[in-house]
Amino acid sequence: MTFLRNTFKFFLAGIFILFGLIVSNSAKAQDGKALFNANCASCHKMDAKLTGPALLGVEDRWKGNRKNLHEWILNSGNYLKKGDPYATNLFNEYGKLQMTAFAGTLDEKQVDAILDYIKKWAPPTAVTTTNSAAAEGEGKDNSLLFGIITLILAVVAFTLMQVNSSLKKLTDDKDGIAAAEPVPFWRNKTYIAFVIIVLFLVGGYYTTKGAIGLGRQKDYQPEQPIYYSHKVHAGVNQINCQYCHIGVYQGKQATIPSVNVCMNCHLAINEYKGEPIHSDDGKEINGTAEIQKLYKKAHYTPGQPWDAAKAEPIEWVRIHNLPDHVYFNHSQHVVAGKVECQTCHGEVTAMGEVKQFADLSMGWCINCHRTTQVNFKGNGFYSIYEKYHEDLKNGKIDSTKGITVEKIGGTECQKCHY
């Protein structure tokens, strides 16, 4: 019996250790990806040159010498002084542009995590769009079909009514009853009343709908001064949203990047060599020419040093407009609420020029607040809701539904209007 119990204990311990290993391993790899996206992705791609070289196979190129790589990554300036010919060549090849020193930001373990991630990386398989296509097929509009049927039925009904009245007239003639003066249908009061009511209903419906939709701009996709493709930047090159929209974790505005942020990368990238870009109406976009537009605003001539002080701001057309009486805070949703950008902005990584994804109506906000759960147990702020915690424990609140934003007052007026 004791033996059995001991075996069981060992067995359990084994499972735990194994589980722990898996978890920690995956955490490490996960870490590498996040670290790569946050620190490297703005200048490096896996399989193509960006500001810096493609990183796939970097360890092979460095002959597996992680020690040198560490030094190089953490402070390339110092490493260059050592006179490693490979490093010197690399430096010259990339326009003598020194890589940001990461000493202080990253430690060696984190660099290792990134290198591991690079080692394991495989090109992403193409995103299948069949799902959405299928969904479109399913929800296909049948109104045309119904419309035609309705029309046919109406014509049939109208003909039958005419036939009926003709027949009635015939029998009346036969019976010798004097027929009333025939009234043409456009002067028939019943018809007129019917048409007016129908017009009123239809007109009313569209007026109301139009009025509700005033100022709403779902699918708004204005032409921007520069054809900036999110697909190229955030999709293909996987630049983290936050790299450009720096305010998104900090304040109410996500902020549109200033010219110097664009120039961080575009000092080195002065031509577009990727897949051909097509705008939504099928026109081919010359990526290099668009970069030139940026240079014009930045007052930069490739090959010459850039004076940031001369740059002019770019007048982008604002897509997401909230009325003045609405307070919206990005950091509230992204940091406290941990909402993904895509939830409200759609698949931006697949958009050329950005298009408004949601209608940004109050109903749309409220619906989300009604169904979205807050991080009730994870966020220390909610520890003050003692009663809710109690109710969750003893099952008075359905734990699958959890604590929604609405439950903590997220649909009250003065959460957004003040």
Nearer to other proteins, 62 or 220 (CB): 220
Among 187, 227, 46, 223, residue whose Cα is nearest residue 123: 46
Whole-number minimum distance, CB 226 to other proteins, in Å? Answer: 13
What is the Cα Rg of the chain in Å?
33
How does DSSP assign 140-202, residue by residue? ---HHHHHHHHHHHHHHHHHHHHHHHHHHHHHHHHHTPPPPPPPPGGG-HHHHHHHHHHHHHH
Q: Tokens 């790299």 appear where?
A: 243
Q: Which stretch binds other proteins (CB under 8 A): 45-53, 86-94, 164-172, 214-222?
A: 214-222
Nearer to other proteins, 143 or 304 (CB): 304
CA 94 to each of CA 56, 98, 148, 239, 242: distance values in angstroms, whole numbers, following the listed order? 17, 9, 65, 20, 25
Contacts of 90 (CB under 8 A, 6+ apart): 53
Whole-number minimum distance, CB 412 to other proteins, in Å? Answer: 5
Whole-number minimum distance, CB 192 to other proteins, in Å? Answer: 22
Nearer to other proteins, 1 or 384 (CB): 384
Q: Measured between alpha carbons, how far is 340 from 346 in angstroms, rounded to an integer?
A: 10
Q: Which two tokens stand for residue 88?
A: 């010197």
Nearer to other proteins, 197 or 308 (CB): 308
Whole-number minimum distance, CB 78 to other proteins, in Å? Answer: 25
Nearer to other proteins, 32 or 257 (CB): 257
By CB under 8 A, name the one of 20, 222, 274, 302 that touches other proteins.
Answer: 222
277-278 and 284-285 beta bridge pairing? antiparallel
CA 272 to each of CA 45, 277, 314, 354: distance values in angstroms, whole numbers, following the listed order? 14, 10, 20, 19
> Residues 318, 322, 323, 328: is their CA dihedral positive or negative?
negative
* Footprint (CB under 8 A) of other proteins, residues 314-373: 314-318, 321, 323-325, 327, 329, 331-332, 335-336
Nearer to other proteins, 58 or 311 (CB): 311
Nearer to other proteins, 113 or 259 (CB): 259
By CB under 8 A, name the one of 342, 367, 379, 399 that touches other proteins.
Answer: 379
Nearer to other proteins, 16 or 381 (CB): 381
* Footprint (CB under 8 A) of other proteins, residues 47-86: none
> Is position 309 an interface residue for other proteins (rule: CB under 8 A)?
yes
Give residue 79's Cα distance to chain centre: 40
Whole-number minimum distance, CB 415 to other proteins, in Å? Answer: 7
Q: Measured between alpha carbons, how far is 337 from 196 in angstroms, rounded to an integer?
A: 51
Q: How many residues bind other proteins (CB under 8 A)?
A: 58
By CB under 8 A, name the one of 64, 139, 182, 210 that touches other proteins.
Answer: 210
Q: Which stretch binds other proteins (CB under 8 A): 44-52, 135-143, 209-217, 286-294?
A: 209-217
CA 79 to each of CA 35, 40, 56, 111, 190: distance values in angstroms, whole numbers, following the listed order? 22, 18, 21, 16, 93
Q: Tokens 């002084």 appear where?
A: 81
Among 67, 44, 71, residue whose Cα is nearest residue 57: 44
Whole-number minimum distance, CB 338 to other proteins, in Å? Answer: 11
* Footprint (CB under 8 A) of other proteins, residues 224-283: 246-247, 250-253, 255-261
* Footprint (CB under 8 A) of other proteins, residues 132-151: none
Residues that bind other proteins (CB under 8 A): 207, 210-211, 214-215, 217, 222, 246-247, 250-253, 255-261, 308-309, 311-318, 321, 323-325, 327, 329, 331-332, 335-336, 378-385, 387-388, 408-409, 412-415, 417-418
